[in-house]
Amino acid sequence: MKKLFRYCLFVASLILIWECLARSGMYPEYLFPSTGKIFYTFIQDSSEILLRARYSLTLIFLGLGSAVVGAVILAGASISSKMVSEAVTTLMAIMHPLPGIALFPIALLWFGIGNKPIVIIIAFSALWPLIANIYNGLRSVPVTQLEAGKILGLSGSRLIFSVMIPAALPNIITGLRVGWARAWQALVAAEMVFGASGGEGGLGWLLYKRRFMMQTPGVFAGLLIIIIIGIIMENAILATVENQTIRKWKTTID
Amino acid sequence: MDILLEIKNLSKIYKTPKKDIVALNDINLQVKEKEFVTVIGPSGCGKSTFLRCIAGLEKPSKGEIRINGTCVKYPGRDRMMVFQGLDQLFPWLTVLDNITYPLKLAKRGKNKAERKEIANYFLKLVSLEGAGHLYPYQLSGGMKQRVAIARALSVCPKVLLMDEPFGSLDALTRDNLQKHLIKIWKETGVTIIFVTHNIEEAVILSTRIAVFSTGVIKEIIENHLIWPRIPENPSFVAQWEKVYSLLQDKIEKKEITNPLISERKVNLAF
Ligand SMILES: Nc1ncnc2c1ncn2[C@@H]1O[C@H](COP(=O)(O)OP(=O)(O)OP(=O)(O)O)[C@@H](O)[C@H]1O
Ligand SMILES: [Mg+2]
């Protein structure tokens, strides 16, 4: 409760600072709108904002979901075979530094216009940090727990799913956090640089349109929803997952 | 009684980039059902390697290990191991689930309720009834080891392998757990191979003591002292001296100081 209070206090002071800057007259209003204006636009625009948010979230979950499945398979294969591990490590060294957006033109050429290239770029952007973290987690499972699992008759994928993944959960959650952030970056960047393919688009497309029409409050309203979704993901979903797992088992120090 | 475990010409060579390390050199041992064998020897003489070979965690370089006549190569639930470390329980499962999970793997118990009942029986065996709902981090070191023992016993292994399970515990807890283990062994009749480097522990627990010396079994001492075994008894002291001199032999030859010497002083002071 105290934590929630501090949290609200912090957010309130950020809003206050913003409002002071907006009212100080240092910046023209059409570039630096007041918080009231932003909230007003947010409410007025809410039906479109929510529509775009739903659209974006669908793409994110499609992309992130396939990245998670791919990362678990690749990290699992890497831990089981030295050859796969070397291949994946090399691939990671090449691909990880590559911004997903840089591959978007290729994805457009290969997969055509539509949602497909966006989902693929999201999956690509989230895949590498996910693999890196999951693989690291699987590698650092305590040897005794691993051997206890073997003694109890587990091997292969059963050992990975029953012992290694629960033991690697702190790293896996970190991977999800980074993957989630990368997925958003990829989505918004793709839509902002290349516009929406077809008449429909997500939040990146919304920002693009509002900027194009010089509706600065609308741009900030779009950013606000991205921030709110991020806060919900972090404080409601990931925090709950952590409380139900690694914090409950005390396999993490915080 | 029948021979349960037969180890024939067992050798284990670790290949390292610099040189090969001979950890076990032509070991032969036969263990009968319901025996309690303690394995003792100086650090690095191959005790853990020996247990790990039996458990199937290491592949023998030569020789074979047979249980009831069949050769074993992989880990199996007929051989359960209790490790020295305090992190062998699965931290994401409660104490009870740490036991019901292996039961499920071993297909013991028809349903959840039945497995819970079996698990509770084994928790009671190690005097931890009522601790089933706790998570491993909520247990003391001694409690963790007792849960590990309960978990290992719950799948009804033919052999229980224990690698210095009480090594990281204080003297009082250790004493307590030794008594527990003897009780459990008598109650369940499970065959036990127990590694230790504490002479008193070796003499208190076992029916036979295998004294190791760099990769070989130097001598096997029959140990049929009457129960309960009291370290002050002359027969106990004699047995202790016997093991000690066998270990000391080795030390003098190599002319190195071994912590066992100071350990003796401590033991005599008691
Ligand atoms: N995985 C390994 N790779 C290479 N050498 C090893 C390995 N494990 C053990 N050894 C070597 O094998 C020998 C026997 O080791 P082992 O762990 O079996 O000894 P130990 O009797 O259990 O010692 P301690 O009482 O200290 O536990 C040692 O010389 C050790 O260095
Ligand atoms: Mg050892």
Residue B255 — pLDDT band, cuts 50, 70, 90? very low
Most confident of A28-37, A122-131, B225-234, B236-245: A122-131
Buried b (16+ CB within 10 A) or exposed e, B93-125: bbbbbbbbbbbebbebbeeeeebbebbbebbeb
Closest by CA position to B31, among listed B72, B74, B2: B2
Closest by CA position to B132, among listed B176, B143, B254: B143
Q: Which of B81, B87, B135 sits opposite A151 (nearest CB)?
A: B81
Q: What is the pLDDT of residues A98-127, one digit of tens each?
A: 988 899 889 989 998 888 999 999 999 999
By the 8 A CB rule, do B217 and B27 touch? yes
Give the residue carrying structure tokens 């459990």.
B184
Checking if the pLDDT of B226 tops 80, the result is yes
CATH number belonging to the domain at A50-249, selected among 3.30.465.10, 2.60.40.1180, 1.10.3720.10, 3.40.190.10:
1.10.3720.10
Quote the minimal CA–CA distance from B28 to chain A in Å. Answer: 23
Q: What is the pLDDT of residues B191-213, one digit of tens each?
A: 999 999 899 999 999 999 999 99
CA B33 to centroid of chain Cα atoms: 15
Checking if the pLDDT of B254 tops 90, the result is no
- Residue range B212-238: average pLDDT? 89
Closest by CA position to B132, among listed B110, B114, B117: B117
**Which residue has the least CA distance to atom 8 on ligand 1?**
B49
DSSP output for A185-254? HHHHHHHHHH--SSS---HHHHHHHHHHTT-HHHHHHHHHHHHHHHHIIIIIIIHHHHHHTHHHHT-S--
Verify whether the Cβ–Cβ distance B90 to A245 is below 8 Å.
Answer: no
Checking if the pLDDT of B240 tops 60, the result is yes
Interface of A with B (CB under 8 A): 142, 144-145, 147-148, 150-154, 162-163, 166-167, 169, 245, 248-251
User: What's residue B266's pLDDT?
Assistant: 42
Give the residue carrying structure tokens 């349960």.
B4
Token couple for A94: 């090449």
User: What's residue A30's pLDDT?
Assistant: 84
Segments making up each domain of chain A, as ranges: 50-249
- The β-bridge partners of B36 are B192
Checking if the pLDDT of A229 tops 90, the result is yes
- What's the CA dihedral at B152, B155, B157, B160 to 10 degrees? 10
State if residue B48 touches ligand 1 by the CB under 6 angstroms criterion.
Answer: yes
Residue B251 — pLDDT band, cuts 50, 70, 90? low
Token couple for B105: 């793997």
Checking if the pLDDT of B270 tops 70, the result is no
State if residue B141 touches ligand 1 by the CB under 6 angstroms criterion.
Answer: no
B189 φ, ψ (degrees, to nearest 5): 70, 20
B55 to chain A, any CB pair closer than 8 A? The answer is yes
Amino acid at A5: F
- Residue range A39-46: average pLDDT? 91
Q: Which of B91, B101, B106 sits opposite A249 (nearest CB)?
A: B91
User: What's residue A201's pLDDT?
Assistant: 84
**Which residue has the least CA distance to atom 7 on ligand 1?**
B14
- Residue range B25-49: average pLDDT? 93
User: What's residue B250's pLDDT?
Assistant: 54
Checking if the pLDDT of B34 tops 90, the result is yes
Verify whether the Cβ–Cβ distance A144 to B87 is below 8 Å.
Answer: yes
Quote the minimal CA–CA distance from A13 to chain B in Å. Answer: 40
Separation CA A72–CA A56 (nearest Å)? 24
- Residue range B237-266: average pLDDT? 65
User: What's residue B263's pLDDT?
Assistant: 47
Verify whether the Cβ–Cβ distance B87 to A245 is below 8 Å.
Answer: no
Q: Which of A142, A145, A150 sits opposite B75 (nearest CB)?
A: A150
- Residue range B123-136: average pLDDT? 92
Closest by CA position to A228, among listed A57, A62, A2: A57
User: What's residue A199's pLDDT?
Assistant: 67
Verify whether the Cβ–Cβ distance B90 to A163 is below 8 Å.
Answer: yes
Query: CA-CA distances (angstroms) from residue B20 to A113, A119, B17, B213?
Result: 61, 53, 8, 18
Sheet strand arrangement including B191-196: B79-82, B159-163, B191-196, B36-40, B208-213, B216-222
- What's the CA dihedral at A173, A177, A183, A189 to 10 degrees? -170
* Probe residue for ligand 1, chosen from B11, B39, B45 as the CB with the greatest number of ligand atoms within 8 Å: B45
* Probe residue for ligand 1, chosen from B14, B83, B193 as the CB with the greatest number of ligand atoms within 8 Å: B14
- Residue range A4-16: average pLDDT? 92
Separation CA B11–CA B8 (nearest Å)? 9
Of all residues in chain A, the percent with pLDDT exceeding 90 is 66
**Which residue has the least CA distance to atom 17 on ligand 1?**
B48
Verify whether the Cβ–Cβ distance B135 to A249 is below 8 Å.
Answer: yes
H helix or E strand, kind and range, residue B36: strand B36-40
Q: What is the pLDDT of residues A159-199, one digit of tens each?
A: 999 999 999 999 999 999 999 999 999 998 888 877 665 56
Q: Kindly report the average pLDDT of chain B as a whole number.
A: 88
Which of chain B's residues have a Cβ under 8 Å away from the Cβ of A151? 55, 57, 75, 77, 79-81
Closest by CA position to B8, among listed B56, B55, B71: B71
User: What's residue B264's pLDDT?
Assistant: 44
Between CA B34 and CA B41, with CA B38 as vertex, the angle to 5 degrees is 160
User: What's residue A196's pLDDT?
Assistant: 64
By the 8 A CB rule, do B48 and B32 touch? no
- Residue range A237-242: average pLDDT? 92
Residue B253 — pLDDT band, cuts 50, 70, 90? low
Residue B265 — pLDDT band, cuts 50, 70, 90? very low
- Residue range A26-50: average pLDDT? 89
Closest by CA position to A179, among listed A115, A128, A244: A128
CA B166 to centroid of chain Cα atoms: 9
By the 8 A CB rule, do B28 and B220 touch? no
Verify whether the Cβ–Cβ distance A153 to B106 is below 8 Å.
Answer: yes
Q: What is the pLDDT of residues B99-128, one digit of tens each?
A: 999 999 999 988 999 999 999 999 998 889
Q: Which long-range contacts (CB under 8 A, 24 or more apart) does B124-131 make?
A: B125/B150, B125/B153, B125/B184, B125/B187, B125/B188, B126/B150, B126/B180, B126/B184, B127/B180, B128/B95, B131/B95
Verify whether the Cβ–Cβ distance A251 to B92 is below 8 Å.
Answer: yes
State if residue B76 touches ligand 1 by the CB under 6 angstroms criterion.
Answer: no
Checking if the pLDDT of B262 tops 50, the result is no
Closest by CA position to B205, among listed B38, B81, B33: B38
A218 φ, ψ (degrees, to nearest 5): -65, -40
